[in-house]
Amino acid sequence: MRIALASIFVDDQRAARAFYTEVLGLVVKNEVPVGDDLWLTVVSRDDPEGTELLLEPSGHPAVGPYRAALRADGIPLAQLEVADLASEHERLRAAGVVFTQDPVDIGSGLLAVFDDTCGNLVQLFEPRRDG
Per-residue confidence (pLDDT) for residue 130, from 0 to 100: 77
**How confident is the model over 24-83, as pLDDT tens digits?**
999 999 999 999 999 999 999 999 999 999 999 999 999 999 999 999 999 999 999 999
Q: How far apart are CA 74 and CA 71, in angstroms?
A: 5
Domains of the chain: 5-127 (3.10.180.10)
| 131 pLDDT more than 80 | no
Cross-strand pairs, 131: none
DSSP state of 47: B
3-state secondary structure of 57: strand
What phi, psi does 114 have (nearest 5°)?
-130, 165
Q: If you average pLDDT over every residue of the chain, what do you get?
A: 96
Per-residue confidence (pLDDT) for residue 129, from 0 to 100: 84
Per cent of the chain over pLDDT 90 is 98
Per cent of the chain over pLDDT 70 is 99
| Cα angle 10-123-114, degrees, rounded to a multiple of 5 | 70
| 21 pLDDT more than 70 | yes
Per-residue confidence (pLDDT) for residue 97, from 0 to 100: 98
Q: Decide: 121 and 112 in contact? Cβ < 8 Å.
A: no
Per-residue confidence (pLDDT) for residue 125, from 0 to 100: 98
